[in-house]
Amino acid sequence: MTALLCVGNVTVDEAVFPDGRRVEQAGGDAIFAALAARLVIDDVRVCAPIGHDLPPSMLAEWQAAGLRTEDMPHRDEPTVRNVITYRADGSRSWYLVNGEAHFDRMSVYPADLPSRAADGVLVSAMSNASMAALLPRLAGRGRIYLDLQEDGLGPEVRALVRHCDVFLPSEVEARALSGTQDLAAAARAFAADGPAVVVIKKAEKGSLVYADGTLTEVPAELVTPIDSTGAGDAFCGAFAAAHLAGADPVEAAKRAASVARLAVSDHGTRGLLGAAR
């Protein structure tokens, strides 16, 4: 049975919409990714630190959706909290309530990794320090998929790309890391760093897949989003699961687009949880 380990964070996200609505929902990149992956394969494991204030009902809900949570370390820290403000022009900003040092303490380090093997590991955005410590230690632990965060994309982050087999940046991250506005050139440059596959996520414009020297545009499934928080994470989780299960990169991107559509169909993780029932 194909097994995927999703590494990242658990968060409580408060989404603030242009009309003034505020919606709070537990989630986090590892959870969005894992729930999406679970719609593709059966064995999905999560390694993401749990804060002391996370309601037990949330953990039970994820377990009921089929996620394996025994590899989630417990921290004597509050859960990471974000305030995400969506603007009328489609842009958004993130505010990390408890600061960067707390975010680092709630990120995954090598000592947190489970000893059990998996076919693949999806590393989602955490602190730069934790990813720098973690990624070199994942060599030999299956196929490595890497997704980054939009902030702090300096040369030291670009250096992490060589440690993955599949790189999954957003178009914002791709342009910032590569120094070019040309996404095709960016994809080729990332591939030259080491990954066999590069998938640049372009939200409602789909994705750009680079594999075996070929660039392929994969369209998104158009939908009016209710909440786009976690859509990119869901795409990465579904892509990794489909790819590990044998789909080629283009087919995996198509499957991921389909699952990401579910992620934006409701607030927070509700769309993915609803599909899992």
Enumerate the domain spans of the chain. 3-276
pLDDT on residue 242: 98
- Average pLDDT (37-55) is 95
Percent of the chain exceeding pLDDT 90 equals 69
Give the confidence band of 15 by pLDDT, cuts at 50, 70, 90.
confident
- Angle, helices 171-178 vs 183-193, to 10°: value is 70
Whether residue 231 contacts residue 263, with contact meaning beta carbons closer than 8 Å, is answered with: yes
What per-residue confidence (pLDDT) applies to 223?
77
User: What is the SS3 assignment for 123?
Assistant: strand
Reply yes or no on whether the pLDDT at 103 is more than 80: yes
Start-to-end C-alpha separation, the chain: 21
In this prediction, residue 82 carries a pLDDT of 87
pLDDT the model gives residue 207: 96
Has domain 3-276 been given CATH number 3.40.1190.20?
Answer: yes
Q: Is the pLDDT of residue 178 over 70?
A: yes
Inter-helix orientation angle 29-38/56-64, to 10°: 30
Reply yes or no on whether the pLDDT at 118 is more than 90. Answer: yes
- Residue 23 CB partners (closer than 8 Å, separation 6+): 14, 15, 17, 227, 267, 268
pLDDT band for position 150 (cuts 50, 70, 90): low
Query: Who has greater pLDDT, 262 or 192?
Result: 192
- pTM score: 0.92
| Range in 40-54, 146-160, 199-213 the model is least confident about | 146-160
The band of 20, judged by pLDDT with boundaries at 50, 70 and 90, is: confident
Give the model's confidence band at 248: pLDDT under 50 very low, under 70 low, under 90 confident, else very high. Answer: very high
pLDDT of residue 91: 76
Contact 190, 174 (CB under 8 A): yes
Continuous H helices in the chain: 29-38, 56-64, 99-105, 128-134, 155-158, 171-178, 183-193, 231-244, 249-263, 270-276
Say if residues 68 and 45 touch (Cβ distance below 8 Å).
yes
Q: What is the mean pLDDT of the chain?
A: 91
Q: Could you tell me which of 97, 89, 90, 84 has the C-alpha nearest to residue 25?
A: 84
